[in-house]
Copies of this chain bind each other. A is one copy, B any other.
Amino acid sequence: MITLASDFGTPYPAAMKGVLCRRTDARLVDVAHDFPRQDVRAAAFWLREVLPYFPPAVHLIVIDPGVGTDRNAIVVRAGEHALVGPDNGVLLPAARRLGGGRDASLETYVVDERRLEPTEPAGGPVGPSATALSADSDAGGNEGGREGPASATFHGRDVFAPAAADVHEAGVDAPADLEWLDPLDGDPVNCSLPEPTLEDDRVVGEVLVADDFGNVITNVPGDVLAGCDRIVANGETVPVGETFAAVPVGERLATVGSHGYVELDVNRGRGDEAFGLAVGDGVVLESAGTDRAN
């Protein structure tokens, strides 16, 4: 099985699927292709939460604002899973969880793009051609057109998809046998999700992501709500509920989301709008006192 995740929208993921289907019969499952554009941290969060529910698989992940620069293309082996994507941190939080939480269990390899067998499109690499505007076109600099097997701007199709397919065919256990993979010298680029500051009656955290419902997902562990009926979020007191329906339709609440973090929500409404919060904003949670009856 190969899962696919990107910030591509459409139809670019289809080109990746075509390449995958040319190289493997593996089952393909889309995770999402509308992750916030070029937002490594948001994608890293979601992948860490979603990928552990999959059976052993190769995970093709292309959130890659640095495409075409000298950032590496890497393969991270984590337990029975392998993750393939750019070395910008987006793979790391998910890889750590899939590997059981220990960095030491991860094996990281660098893709040598020049040794990776390219996927020729049907009909051949015809592409458009024309005369250069510059009289100086033999003098180096930009070379125009396509140069070699990999385009400069679509490594999802030309590097990551071929690599993911070939890792799948070799088996997750065997990346070291692939001659176009070399062990990474040093550590991969890290991506740490921010940790909240916990005090006795106050937690200072931030918004990690907002989901498509508008639920505001913070980095504050849900445990802090234990025993609380109400909480003060950024100065406003809201009920704590186990479910959205704990409050009337249209009312705000704090709850523990399915990922275990404190969420700021509205029952059948949008928490991001009601709380005026966006990704990265600070969230201060305080105890609303101990005036509960029981």
Contact = CB atoms under 8 A, between A and B. Distances in A.
A11 B47 CA distance: 9
Total identical chains: 3
A223 B151 contact: no
A117 interface: no
Contacts of A229: 141-142
Interface residues of A, number: 122
A137 B226 contact: yes
A150 B65 CA distance: 36
B243 A68 contact: yes
A28 interface: yes
A292 B136 contact: yes
Residue from the set A123, A157, A242, A263 with the largest chain B CB neighbour count within 10 Å: A123
A268 interface: yes
A79 B66 CA distance: 37
Contacts of A151: 256-258
A260 B227 contact: no
Contacts of A203: 130, 133
B132 A54 contact: no
B222 A128 contact: yes
Given A212-B9, A292-B141, A294-B139, A132 B65 contact: no
A55 interface: yes
Contacts of A27: 21
Contacts of A143: 226-227, 242
Contacts of A225: 132-134, 142, 144
A65 B290 CA distance: 31
A158 interface: yes
Contacts of A243: 67-69, 152-153
B198 A144 contact: no
Given A52-B121, A54-B22, A290-B134, A141 B227 contact: yes
Pick the most buried of A8, A146, A196: most chain B CB atoms within 10 A of its CB: A146
A38 B32 CA distance: 21
A113 to B, nearest CB: 14
A132 B101 contact: no
Given A22-B53, A222-B144, A255-B153, A132 B228 contact: yes
20 contacts: A10-B33, A14-B29, A18-B51, A21-B55, A28-B29, A67-B244, A100-B124, A101-B124, A127-B222, A128-B219, A132-B228, A135-B290, A137-B228, A141-B294, A143-B226, A144-B256, A151-B258, A152-B255, A153-B244, A154-B257
Given A37-B213, A97-B122, A98-B122, 10 more contacts: A9-B212, A17-B54, A38-B268, A128-B221, A133-B201, A134-B228, A136-B292, A144-B225, A145-B260, A153-B258
